[in-house]
């Protein structure tokens, strides 16, 4: 399977809503990613990702020429300006094929070369074993576990913080 990262486009809306409207994806990420994933949510997200100040932070994951998910890198500011957070999701039929690991590695390289950060980190729910493995395969190490600090669907979970450095 061939994948590439590319900027978001307004015509990604239908594919975004189709692939993002999945409870198995929503259960593993922030509540800002709604379920059900509505057309209105998709319109708002594409407006955000195609705005001039965000063009370099968000990418579509495209596999064999088809929309497959999204990935973003979010540089922090103030005293945290050496850090950026990575976030990602992939359509469920493409899980466990190595695609998201490669996409993360590409985005790490992009983040280190374009944003002047020395650390990229990702936060993961303690129950999300798949994402933990993906980050480890991409070169991240577990930096911290904050017990009972996340609530998702009324279940209290641990927050795992994974990081990778470019020093």
Strands (E), 13-154: 58-63, 66-75, 83-90, 119-125, 141-152
pLDDT tens for 43-82 read: 999 999 999 999 999 999 999 999 999 999 999 999 999 9
Q: Which of 127, 4, 126, 142 is nearest to 61 (CA)?
A: 4
156: its two tokens? 């209290």
Residues in the chain with pLDDT < 50? none
Q: Give the start-to-end residue ranges of the domains of the chain.
A: 3-165
The most distant pair of C-alpha atoms in the chain lies apart, rounded to whole Å, by: 42
Query: In CATH, what number does 3-165 get?
Result: 3.40.630.30
């Amino acid at each position: 399977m061939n994948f590439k990262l590319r900027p978001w486009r307004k015509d990604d809306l239908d594919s975004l809503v189709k692939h993002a409207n999945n409870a198995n994806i929503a259960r593993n990420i922030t509540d800002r990613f709604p379920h059900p994933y509505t057309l209105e949510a998709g319109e708002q997200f594409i407006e955000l990702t195609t705005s001039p100040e965000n063009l370099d932070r968000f990418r579509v994951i495209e596999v064999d020429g088809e929309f497959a998910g999204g990935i973003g890198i979010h540089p922090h500011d103030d005293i945290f300006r050496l850090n950026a957070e990575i976030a990602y999701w992939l359509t469920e039929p493409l899980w466990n094929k190595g695609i998201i690991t490669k996409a993360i590695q590409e985005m790490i390289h992009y983040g280190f070369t374009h944003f002047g950060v020395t650390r990229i980190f990702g936060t993961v729910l303690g129950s999300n074993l798949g994402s933990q493995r993906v980050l480890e395969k991409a070169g991240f190490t577990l930096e911290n576990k904050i017990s009972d600090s996340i609530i998702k669907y009324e279940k209290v979970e641990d927050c795992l913080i994974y990081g990778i450095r470019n020093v």
